[in-house]
Amino acid sequence: MNSDWRPNSKCLPLCLLASLGALCDSVVNPAFLRASPPVASYVFPAGGQRGTTVAVRVGGLFLHDRCGFALSGPGVTAPPTLTRTPRIWFEGPVIPLPDSQQAEDYPADVAGRIKLAPDAAVGPRKGYLFTSQGAAGGLVFVVGELPEVVEKEADGEPIPERVTLPVTANGRVFPRDDLDLWEFPLPAGQTVTATAVGKAINSPAALRLDILDAAGRVVAEQLDVAPPGADAAARFTAPAAGVYRVRVADARGQGGPAHVYRLTITTGLSAEPRPADGLKESADAAATHAAPVALTGRIGSPGAAAAWKLTLTKGKRTTFDLVARRAGSPLCGVLTVTDAAGKELAKAEPADATADPTLTFTAPADGTYTVRVAERFRSRGGPAFTYRLKVTPDAAPGVTLKLPVDGNSKLPADALSVPRGGAVKLKVSVGRTGGFTGPVELTAEGLPPGLTAKSVTVPPNQSAGELTIQADATAVVRPARVAISARAGDVKVEPLEVYATAAVPTPFKLVDEYVMTSAPRGEIYRRTYRVQRDAGFAGPVRVSLADRQARHLQGVTGPTVEVPAGRDVFDYPAYLPPWMELGRTCRVCVQATGVVKDADGTEHPVVFSSTGQNQQMIVVVGPGRLGLELGRGSVRGGGEVRLPVTVTRGRDLTGPVVVEAVVPPHWSGATAEKLTIPAGSGAGELVLRFAPGAGPFNQPLTVRATLAAGRTPVVAEAALDVVAP
């Protein structure tokens, strides 16, 4: 685990912050209330094959130029610091009202490389980010055992990516309505299984899978029930040799940079993710097993049954839970327990043939017992009739600890930010099992310098306690792994692990009054703001578009504006693209960053962001003042093409217009000369050239016209479809 990041006297602005909301009931320095809630959004790719090194980008809100990073568990080596990398953004389709009025996050990206040891345990690792304003959890990175590939992301219609099976493909449903196609050849009679994981890696995607042939026809739809740990699955047996594709989409038509997924495609009947129950796995039907264990097999032919031997203890209850229908198997399971003489002692089969049986059995004597798995209907069976039998003993007296769920990640809130001079209350739920009813003492151990917490006792009649963690006014900003431990008499309690750090308040904010106006699209709109600095802070601040917006931006962009020390009032320019929806009310939000210095010279980047109405740029979008028309709506992408263009200037516009083609960055072999239409003229020809093999033409080419009108360039755009020659 890597956690040696900390601020230094020459650090540039850092990255992610951590959310306080789910973790704490705070008593804080009032200035800290202006600090933006930190959020970690995603890791992409969300995993890698052990024995490899994986380049990742980590996204989150309110990022600066660098941040600390850590991954849990042995066998993974993460860089202690991640650095800013250019944000990848695909705008996607125009979102009409009222959907465009919804709040939207625009994560910024930092990057690094994760090294996975050849013997690293397969499974998920938790990821954390650190800055001077806190710690953020909620990231998940998976160590896999199959070869892995990462999507070559490109805007526009989906471009199939060829993979070799078996494989785990890492992708994103990005932008909205995105479709991904993973392509592979199959011989006749070959079965392929695909499973997609999203929720387990903290992705908001509602994944949907189907399988297509080379002509785009659906040959297999998503299974009704996905395997444990997966969001979606599909299975298909090729009737003829050929090329087939797994198509990945969001079932709701949503998408974004955080909509990451892991798609495992294997030849055969199973591509199940490893269940997260931690049970030892076995497929050895000849051995004698002991609980807890998970036994996997199949009812390979009609009338067959599987027999598993287990050593059980007199008077101890054991639960047998068959997972088949829940995992997409057609098996209608029946469980039977017999003694060494073959006498039936217990049996379970669900009344509903679409459910799985569960059986609880108490052994009458020490010895070896047999549990049989069979198909309810003797005429059914075959290679697809797979199952997983979970065998678990009743719990001994014990205590379990649980953290609250983070409001952003929906995962346990295990990253704690304590404001300097303030305190947070960490709620810990206490579960008593196996008949234990005594008190439980909670303690926070390993807190970083400047943070303290007194132990608390949870009485027998209560199920939760609160640890109050306090930070000195000058506490060092140094993330640390903290053990939340418990004492409960002679009962051994597994501690919880959280990250905790002191957090620096933000000593400034942006203020102004409510303003609502209108502005034409295709131009820059400016709004005046004022920086209000607290006593003791007189430094410069940098203002940019906020990572968290009150509404979808619909393509609005803006620069970073430096507000120097000694200056309070400034204008922020936001560009309203020419394709924005007319009549739409923009609510553009900005954020400000600055640097706070400790007495020893240590610098702490801090951020202020607000979606309050007084801080918004509220603009009703009006018609643009420059028009652009193309002589043709589409052209063939071969050789030289001369495209007639016409521009119309508003009554108050004069001067030359520059017309250019904006070629998508993933295209090759396409170029265009800039065209200048002189003042007083309204027409010209834009010359496009396409080399042999140019493309792929999976999205329109943008033709852009610009008229320089003082401080505010005026822009118009039109889309040109390019088809293969």
- How much is the average pLDDT of 301-317? 94
- How much is the average pLDDT of 215-227? 90
Q: What are 211's strand-pairing partners?
A: 220, 246
pLDDT at 16 (0 to 100): 32
Q: What are 310's strand-pairing partners?
A: 289, 369
pLDDT at 9 (0 to 100): 33
Residue type at 11 in one-letter notation: C
Q: What are 641's strand-pairing partners?
A: 688
Residue 352: is its pLDDT beyond 90? no
Indicate the SS3 state at residue 721: strand
CA distances from 647 to 365, 386, 571, 660, 714 (A): 92, 66, 31, 13, 12
Selected residue with higher pLDDT from 229 and 125 = 125
Selected residue with higher pLDDT from 229 and 603 = 603
Task: Write out 391-420 in H/E/C secondary structure.
Answer: EEECCCCEEEEECCECCCCCCECCEEEEEC
| Strand ranges in 403-492 using DSSP code E only, listed in sequence order | 415-419, 423-433, 440-445, 451-453, 456-458, 464-471, 480-487
| Whether the Cβ atoms of residue 489 and residue 590 lie closer than 8 Å to each other | no
How large is the greatest C-alpha to C-alpha distance in the chain, in angstroms? 103
Residue 639: is its pLDDT beyond 80? yes
**Structural domain boundaries in the chain:** 30-144, 148-267, 281-393, 508-622, 626-723
- Cα 148 to its chain centre, rounded Å, is 18
Token pair of 450, please? 């400047």
Token pair of 558, please? 């803006």
Measured CA to CA, the distance from residue 641 to residue 723 in angstroms comes to 12
Residue 106: is its pLDDT beyond 80? yes
| Whether the Cβ atoms of residue 301 and residue 385 lie closer than 8 Å to each other | no
DSSP 558-579: ---EEE-TT--EEEEEEEE-TT
pLDDT at 63 (0 to 100): 78
Q: Left, alpha or beta for 434 (phi > 0: left; psi -120 to 50: alpha)? A: left
Residues in the chain: 725
Measured CA to CA, the distance from residue 538 to residue 564 in angstroms comes to 9
Which residue in 178, 20, 2 sits closest to 88, CA to CA? 178
Indicate the SS3 state at residue 159: coil
On the question of a common fold for 281-393 and 508-622, the answer reads no
What strand order describes the sheet that includes 617-622? 516-520, 617-622, 585-588
Q: Which range has the worst mean pLDDT, 7-21, 126-140, 262-276, 533-547?
A: 7-21
pLDDT at 13 (0 to 100): 31
- How much is the average pLDDT of 105-125? 95
CA distances from 206 to 160, 172, 183, 254, 385 (A): 21, 12, 21, 8, 27
CATH architecture of 148-267: Sandwich (2.60)
pLDDT at 279 (0 to 100): 84
As a whole number, the mean pLDDT across the chain is 90
- Cα 165 to its chain centre, rounded Å, is 25
Which residue in 148, 103, 141, 133 sits closest to 1, CA to CA? 141
Right CATH for 508-622 from 1.10.357, 2.40.50, 2.60.40, 1.20.120: 2.60.40
Token pair of 130, please? 């650190």
CA distances from 388 to 40, 276, 340, 575 (A): 35, 13, 23, 57
Q: What are 648's strand-pairing partners?
A: 627
184 HSE (CA, 13 A, CB side) = 24
| Whether the Cβ atoms of residue 66 and residue 84 lie closer than 8 Å to each other | yes
Residue 11: is its pLDDT beyond 50? no
Contacts for 341 with CB less than 8 Å, ≥ 6 apart? none
pLDDT tens-place string over residues 65-100: 999 999 999 999 999 999 999 999 999 888 877 777
DSSP 529-565: EEEEEPTT----EEEEE-SEESS--TT-B---EEE-T
Measured CA to CA, the distance from residue 474 to residue 28 in angstroms comes to 14
pLDDT at 273 (0 to 100): 54
CA distances from 202 to 146, 172, 405, 411, 644 (A): 21, 13, 13, 8, 49
pLDDT at 7 (0 to 100): 38
Selected residue with higher pLDDT from 351 and 171 = 171
Bond from prior residue into 330 cis (ω within 30 degrees of 0): no
Quick one: pLDDT band at residue 20, thresholds 50, 70, 90?
very low
Pairing status of strand 148-150 against strand 232-237: unpaired
| Whether the Cβ atoms of residue 572 and residue 529 lie closer than 8 Å to each other | yes
The helix, strand and coil proportions of the chain, stated in percent and rounded to the nearest 5, come to 0, 50, 45
Pairing status of strand 108-116 against strand 218-220: unpaired
pLDDT at 406 (0 to 100): 75
Which residue in 222, 211, 43 sits closest to 139, CA to CA? 43
User: How many CB atoms lie under 10 A from the CB of residue 343?
Assistant: 8
Task: Write out 230-271 in H/E/C secondary structure.
Answer: CCEEEEEECCCCEEEEEEEEECCCCCCCCCEEEEEEEECCCC
Bond from prior residue into 45 cis (ω within 30 degrees of 0): yes
- How much is the average pLDDT of 624-646? 96
Which residue in 209, 73, 205 sits closest to 142, CA to CA? 73
- R_g (Cα) of the chain, nearest Å: 30
Measured CA to CA, the distance from residue 574 to residue 552 in angstroms comes to 14
If one looks up domain 281-393 in CATH, what number appears? 2.60.120.380
- How much is the average pLDDT of 166-191? 97
Measured CA to CA, the distance from residue 457 to residue 440 in angstroms comes to 6
- How much is the average pLDDT of 373-388? 91
- How much is the average pLDDT of 265-282? 73
Cα angle, residue 215 at apex, residues 210 and 219 outer, rounded to 5°:
35
Measured CA to CA, the distance from residue 145 to residue 123 in angstroms comes to 9
pLDDT at 411 (0 to 100): 76
If one looks up domain 30-144 in CATH, what number appears? 2.60.40.10
Q: Left, alpha or beta for 695 (phi > 0: left; psi -120 to 50: alpha)? A: left
Task: Write out 40-86 in H/E/C secondary structure.
Answer: EEEEECCEEECCCEEEEEEEEECCCCEEEEEECCCCEECCCEEEEEC
Measured CA to CA, the distance from residue 604 to residue 275 in angstroms comes to 42
Residue 246: is its pLDDT beyond 90? yes
Token pair of 502, please? 């002191």
Q: Name the DSSP class of 488.
A: B
Token pair of 395, please? 């719990």
Measured CA to CA, the distance from residue 271 to residue 252 in angstroms comes to 25
Residue 483: is its pLDDT beyond 80? yes
User: What percentage of the chain has pLDDT greater than the value 70?
Assistant: 93
Superfamily of domain 626-723: Immunoglobulins (2.60.40.10)
